Amino acid sequence: KNEVEQSPQNLTAQEGEFITINCSYSVGISALHWLQQHPGGGIVSLFMLSSGKKKHGRLIATINIQEKHSSLHITASHPRDSAVYICAAFAYNTDKLIFGTGTRLQVFP
Amino acid sequence: DGGITQSPKYLFRKEGQNVTLSCEQNLNHDAMYWYRQDPGQGLRLIYYSQIVNDFQKGDIAEGYSVSREKKESFPLTVTSAQKNPTAFYLCASSIRGLAGGPGSETQYFGPGTRLLVL
**What is the per-residue pLDDT across B103-117, written as a single tens digit (0 to 9) for each?**
778 899 999 999 998
Contact B101 A41 (CB under 8 A): no
Exposed/middle/buried for A20, CB within 10 Å: 0-12, 13-18, 19+?
A: middle
Residue B95 has pLDDT above 70, yes or no: yes
The confidence score (pLDDT) of residue B97 equals 63
**Residue A74 CB partners (closer than 8 Å, separation 6+):** A18, A19, A58, A59, A81, A105
Q: Are B41 and B22 in contact (CB under 8 A)?
A: no
The confidence score (pLDDT) of residue A41 equals 87
Identify the band that residue B87 occupies on the pLDDT scale cut at 50, 70 and 90.
Answer: very high
Identify the band that residue A63 occupies on the pLDDT scale cut at 50, 70 and 90.
Answer: very high
The confidence score (pLDDT) of residue A30 equals 87
Q: Is A31 on the interface with B (CB under 8 A)?
A: yes
**Residue A66 CB partners (closer than 8 Å, separation 6+):** none
Contact A44 B109 (CB under 8 A): yes
Q: Is A33 on the interface with B (CB under 8 A)?
A: yes
**Chain B residues 22-81 with CB within 8 Å of chain A:** 40-45, 59
Average pLDDT over residues B71-94: 94
Residue A2 has pLDDT above 90, yes or no: no
The confidence score (pLDDT) of residue B1 equals 61
Contact A95 B112 (CB under 8 A): no
Average pLDDT over residues A80-105: 92
- Residue of A94 and A48 predicted with greater confidence: A48
Identify the band that residue A47 occupies on the pLDDT scale cut at 50, 70 and 90.
Answer: very high
Residue A60 has pLDDT above 70, yes or no: yes
Residue A1 has pLDDT above 80, yes or no: no
| 3-class DSSP state of A80 | helix
Contact A96 B40 (CB under 8 A): no
Identify the band that residue A73 occupies on the pLDDT scale cut at 50, 70 and 90.
Answer: very high
Residue B98 has pLDDT above 60, yes or no: no
- DSSP letter at A77 equals -
The confidence score (pLDDT) of residue B99 equals 58
List chain A residues with CB under 8 Å of B97.
none
Cα–Cα distance, B88 to B8 (Å, whole number): 12
Between B43, B88, B103, which is nearest A90 by CB?
Answer: B103
Identify the band that residue A92 occupies on the pLDDT scale cut at 50, 70 and 90.
Answer: confident
The confidence score (pLDDT) of residue B100 equals 65
Contact B109 A45 (CB under 8 A): yes
